[in-house]
Chain A
Amino acid sequence: MTSMLSEKQAAMRDVFGDVLLELSKADPRVLALDGDLANSTKLDKVAEHNPSQFLQMGIAEQNMLSVAAGLAAVGFQPWTCSFAAFISKRAIDQIQVNVAQPKLDVKMVGAYSGLLTGCTGKTHQALEDIAMMRSLAHMVVLAPADGIEVRRVMEFAHQYNGPVYIRLARDPLPYLFDDSHTFTLGKGVQVKSGSHVTIISTGTETVRALQAAELLEGEGIRAAVLHMPSIKPIDHEAIIRAAETTGAIVTAEEHSIIGGLGSAVAEVLVENRPVPMRRVGVRDLNAESGSNEALLKKFGIAPEHIAEAVREVLARKV
């Protein structure tokens, strides 16, 4: 274990439950809407300790999102929560028409995102949620990297008046940040400096990006790591600066390479400062059941894969 990653771990879902309970107690507008998964997503903390602000919507995600729109239209701030796969893919039309187009104050929390959803396989993995959510006008898309940042992102979302999608992970992750960490919408966070290449990562993949940077350090490759908790809006300035100062970019995300962070970064680069680039993510595949280790390895998003992408991109650097 290295300097950067703390020994201390937290599961995002635990932090999420605690923070939502706090927010709901402090603000009577805040409501927690569940799709029958409260004991998995930890929304049950609200159900148990502040039941009057908890609403069970049953296994009916589309209805839940449209109900939330109605609640928001009369002044509540509904926080809808389910597995990322169901809240995004399942209810996308409801979200677009009832939430995003009218820009209502609804928060959407995808609790088990990405590849590591706990031995559930492809129906429960969300490898397209960033792509789908980011394509909706007015939608803010956030993917925090650790427990501290989950709290910051939720505090932001609570203050912000409009639709926000927050992408969380199931399993415990090491802490990257301490209490002084802040979150600013549309801003990236430089978590490691370096001069040869910049790895731009988001959510759970930032820990793996740092691990990759350490692997590369041993080979004399100095990789910067730029963490992007805000995928939409994205930090244009930081991306352009990274391209100018390091001349090569690798993106890394626990998501499909189609339409996610890698695509967002590529869009900025191609219109401003094209440099050699590679995207690490799941490459147009459906995944499957398996242990975390086996899945990361088979679907190409482990630290070794990020390091390999860095070596490849450096070979193309002019």
Chain B
Amino acid sequence: MNTAFQSCSADELTKKASEARRIILETVHYANAGHVGGPLSAIDMLIALYFSVMNINPDDPQWEDRDRFVLSKGHSAVALYTALALRGYFPLEELKTFDHIDSRLQAHPDMKLLPGLDMSSGSLGLGISTAVGLALGAKLKHQTFYTYCMIGDGESQEGQVWEAADVASKYKLNNLIAFLDYNKLQQYGWKGTDREREVPVTAPELRWEAFGWNVISIDGHDMAQILDACAQAKTVADRPTVIIAHTLKGKGVSFMENNYLWHAKVPDADELNRAIHEIEAEG
């Protein structure tokens, strides 16, 4: 069973991502809580995964052979929820409960509450290890599903990321494909020279290569490149792949782009309108 929308063209996916951007901003505004910068930088990849790349079935979210996804940078939950809702895992209307008491849509993903979630996250640095576990488990059980994971560049300061990287290449996990959302900003970070806050991770390509991974660098907002990178990753026989996705924090909204202050700031009504206007003009 392959229920991925293999027929989705890059253009259709780009349109979807632009719709998702609007929903992310509306959801955060409505909840008056949540993150925006990271979700907007991650959403193109999530849309590509959930609408084209992953072998999944929204009607049977616990299907044993489905591909798995771990959002290691769990604070971008609103982006993942938006992709899941658009793909039909739950009604879009439910996004209104984001971050509320008794909601399945917790501020950070909770796999015990929402069937579409393959792993809980929110404490940074843990997710990539759980993805290694899922991929290793698939090998041990002779299952053929892929495990995808998304980590943040700031998050990559956690030593555990590199402990996971090491084990993954030792076990030759070619069924593990990680995305690094390389937006070059974190929450506060280091005071920079050329702009307000500096690149937190230096030379990720070299680092991952040193840990024995297959490395592909792309523009993380270019659908064709995202799809292509995933296809390439699947041809590698003996190593896990990391897709270093060069992205913009706050992508799609001029006054949020590349501004660390929008890491977790809620847009007010005026900012929301201006943002949606820009997104719709682009899309």
Residues of A within 8 A of B (CB): 34, 36-40, 44, 47, 51, 56, 58-60, 62-63, 85-86, 90, 118-124, 288-291, 294-295, 298
Contact = CB atoms under 8 A, between A and B. Distances in A.
A39 B191 contact: no
B190 interface: yes
Contact of B159 (A34, A60, A86, A122): A60
A68 to B, nearest CB: 16
A309 B15 CA distance: 56
A63 B163 CA distance: 14
A85 B123 contact: yes
Interface of B: 31, 33-34, 74, 99-103, 106-108, 110, 120-125, 154-155, 157-159, 186-191, 200
Contacts of A291: 100-101
B106 A60 contact: no
B186 A36 contact: yes
B91 to A, nearest CB: 19
A120 B108 contact: yes
Contacts of B122: 120-124
Given A36-B186, A90-B123, A289-B100, A119 B159 contact: no
Given A119-B31, A290-B101, 5 more contacts: A36-B154, A40-B187, A60-B157, A121-B106, A289-B99
B100, B101, B121 pick with most chain A CB within 10 angstroms: B101
List the 4 closest A-B pairs by CB distance, nearest first: A123-B122, A290-B101, A58-B157, A294-B101
Contacts of A119: 31, 33-34, 99, 107
A289 B189 contact: no
A59 B125 contact: yes
B107 to A, nearest CB: 4
Contacts of A63: 159
Contact of A59 (B99, B108, B154): B154
A36 B188 contact: yes
A40 B263 CA distance: 11
A127 to B, nearest CB: 14
Output the residue of A37, A47, A51, A122 with the most chain B CB within 10 A. A122
B33 A86 contact: no
A290 B100 contact: yes
15 contacts: A36-B189, A47-B188, A47-B191, A58-B157, A59-B124, A59-B157, A85-B123, A120-B107, A120-B122, A121-B106, A122-B106, A123-B121, A289-B106, A290-B99, A290-B102
B103 A39 contact: no
Contact of A56 (B34, B108, B188): B188
Q: Most chain-A Cβ atoms within 10 A of its Cβ — which of B102, B121, B155, B187?
A: B187
Contacts of A85: 123
Contacts of B106: 121-122, 288-289
A298 B101 CA distance: 9
Nearest to B188: A38
B196 to A, nearest CB: 12
B195 to A, nearest CB: 16
A315 to B, nearest CB: 31
Contacts of B125: 59
Given A119-B33, A288-B106, A36 B100 contact: no
A34 B188 contact: yes
Nearest to A287: B101
A289 B31 CA distance: 11
B247 to A, nearest CB: 18
A51 B191 CA distance: 10
Contacts of A122: 106, 108, 110, 122
A11 to B, nearest CB: 17
Contact of B158 (A44, A60, A295): A60
Contacts of A36: 154, 157, 186-189
